[in-house]
Structure 1
C-alpha cells in the first residue's frame, strides 16, 4: 500500500473512535480508521455489553429461585449471542460502507504529522487517539505463575467456577461477583481498601450488605501480598498471613490507558500513567492530535468517550471552539441494587459549598411504585446549592435509569424547579427524583410566615 493522505486519522475503533469516524465521514471528511485488535473495542467485546448480558442472565436465575447446573453455560451463550447481534453495527463492512478507509493494524507515530501502520505512512490534517484502556495487572508476587482472568478473558469460560476469588472490589469486581454468585459459584472478593471506595458510604453500604446477604464474602482493607497455586487450586495471601483458597482468580483492580505502541514521544505528545495530557479542547501538546475517551485521563466510561467524540467532531470539522467539562458525566455500578452517581457526592458538596448546601434524602419506601414492587430498599440523596442540583446519589432498583433527569439538569445548568415542575406518570419509580426536588422547596412554601400571611389576606378579600 502506498503512502496515504487524509483529513482525519483515527487510532482506535472503540466507542469513541467509531463515533468520530461515522460522524466525520458522513459530513464529508476523508477518514482513515486504524484498529489493531477488535472493532468495537473493550465495550463491545469485553466490557459493557458482555458484563450486562451476564448480569441479566444472573438476575433471571435468581428470579427462578436459584441457579441450575446448565445456567452458567446458557448465560455465556447469551453473552456471545448479544455480542454477535451488536457486532455488525461496529464492523469493518459497515464503516467501509460509510466511506471510511479501515486499516487493521497497530499505528505508531513517526513524526508529529505522520503515523505508520503495516509499513504504510499516513499523513493527516488531524489525528484522534481513541485507543481506550486495558486491565491493570498489579505486580503481585507469584501472579505471573498462576492462571488468572481479567475482563478480557472472563467471558471465554464455559463452566461455572467452583470458588471464584476476585482481587478488587470496584464496580467490575462487585458486578462480576454478584453475577457469578447468582449463577452458582462461591465468591470471595478481596480489596486493599474499601469496597466502591469513591462512592457515597451510605450507598456503598446498601450494595455491599445485599451482596453479603447473597453469600458473597467481601474482605476489605486486606492488602494482597502474594498469589500461588495452579489451575483449580489457587491461594491468595493477604497482609497478616490469612490465605483465601479458590478454584479461579479474577483480577479487577483498575485499568490503564493503551499508549505503549503509539510512540507518542516522536509526535511531541506529553503523557503519563493516567493518559495523554489534553486541554479542555481535548488537544494534546501536539495541536494536530486530539485524545478522547479512556486515554484522555478524565474517566473510563463509554458514554464519556461518546461525549468527547461529539466535541472533537465540532472542533475538527467546523473549527468551532469546544470545552470539555466532566462534572455532568454520570456513572453507574450495575449490581442489584444499582448505585448511580452524578456530580458531587455529599461529602464533596459539603466541602465545596459549606453552609450554602442543602441535602434532601428520600427513601424508596416513600414511593408507591417501590412499595407495589416490593423493592423498598434504597434512597436518593440530592445535593442542591444556589437553587441548582450539584450532585445526586441514587442507590436502589433501576438507579441507573432514574439518574437520567438529573443528568439532563446538570448538563444544561437547569434550576431544580425544572424537575419539581415536571409531571410524571403515577405510579413510577421516577417519582423519587421529583419527590426529592419537592422536598427542597417544601420548607420555603409551608414554613414561611410571609406566605401564610399572604394566603390569609387573599382569603379575606375573596368574594
Structure 2
C-alpha cells in the first residue's frame, strides 16, 4: 500500500487523518474533494474494523447460519422437510476471507489512486506541534483528525488469563467449529455471534451480568432471550463472574 500514493513533495498538508478505516477514509476523501491536500495515515491492515474484522465477516457468517437455520425451519409447514448441515467449515471460513479481501481491495486499495491529493502513509503516528510524526518522519499538517477506532479488552475476571479465550475477531477465524461456546456478555455482538454459532451446530451459553441488550427496553431483552432459548441457547442473565478456570479438557 505504501507505493499507491506518492508523498506530497512539499511535505506539508492541509489535513492529516490518523486511521485508515471507514471513518478515516471518508474524512480524507471528503477533504480531498474540497481541495485539501491530505495525509491519510494507516497502521495495520487498511480498511479498519468493518471490512476486515467487523461487519463484513460477521454478517457473512451470520447469513450463512441463517440459511442453515432456515432449511431446518421448513418442517414447520405441513408436507415440507428441510435439512442442511456444515459440510466443510474451512471452506466456509475461506469464502468469508475471500469476500473480505475483495471488498478491501475494491472499497479501499483501488479507490485511493483516484484521489491525487490524498497521500497514504503507513506507520505508527505520534502527535506533535504542527503535525504528526510517522515512523520518524515529520508530517506537517494544518489540522489533524484522529479516527483510530477501538480495540477489544479482556474483562478483569479472575483466572481468565490462564485459560484459552477468544475475542470477537478471533472467534470468526477458527479453523474448526467448537463443540461448545461460552459467550461472556449479552450485548449486540455477544448475542449475534452466539446465535450464529448455535445455528451452525455449536452448543452455546450466553452469560451476562444484567440482561441481554441492557441498553434496550426490558421488553426487547425478554423477547430476545425467549427467542434464543427457543433455538437451544442457554442464557444465564443477572450473574456475577467470580472466576474462570479450566475444567478437564474443556
Q: Distance in 1 between matches of 2:208 and 2:228?
A: 15
Give the match for residue 175 of structure 2.
Answer: 158
Q: Distance in 1 between matches of 2:231 and 2:91?
A: 21
Give the match for residue 104 of structure 1.
Answer: 122
Q: CA RMSD in A?
A: 2.0
1:6 aligns with 2:23: no
Greater relative contact order: 1 or 2 (C-alpha under 8 angstroms, separation 6 or more)?
Answer: 2
Q: CA deviation at 1:202?
A: 1.4
Say which SS state the counterpart of residue 198 (structure 1) adopts.
Answer: coil
Q: Distance in 2 between matches of 1:179 and 1:22?
A: 35
> How many residues are matched?
232
Q: Alpha-carbon deviations, 1:401-441, whole Å to 9, x = none? A: xxxxxxxxxxxxxxxxxxxxxxxxxxxxxxxxxxxxxxxxx
Give the match for residue 144 of structure 1.
Answer: 161
Q: Distance in 2 between matches of 1:53 and 1:77?
A: 11
1:184 aligns with 2:176: no
Q: Is there any run of 5+ residues in structure 2 with no aligned partner, and where?
A: 1-6, 73-82
How high is the TM-score relative to the length of structure 1? 0.48
Q: CA deviation at 1:114?
A: 2.1
Q: Distance in 2 between matches of 1:92 and 1:117?
A: 20
CA contact (8 A) 1:105 1:117 kept: yes
Q: CA deviation at 1:169?
A: 0.6
How high is the TM-score relative to the length of structure 2? 0.86
Structure 2 matches for 1:15-164, cutoff 5 A?
15-65=22-72, 68-70=85-87, 72-99=89-116, 100-111=118-129, 113-164=130-181
After TM superposition, where is structure 1 displaced by more than 6 Å over at least 4 residues in a row?
Answer: none
Say which SS state the counterpart of residue 243 (structure 2) adopts.
Answer: strand
Q: Alpha-carbon deviations, 1:316-340, whole Å to 9, x = none? A: xxxxxxxxxxxxxxxxxxxxxxxxx
Q: Sort the Cα spacing of 1:182 and 1:73 in 2 relative to 1 into closer, same or farther, 3 A.
A: farther
Task: Pick from 194, 212, 217 the counterpart of residue 229 of structure 2.
Answer: 212
Q: Which has the higher strand share?
A: 1
CA contact (8 A) 2:90 2:175 kept: yes
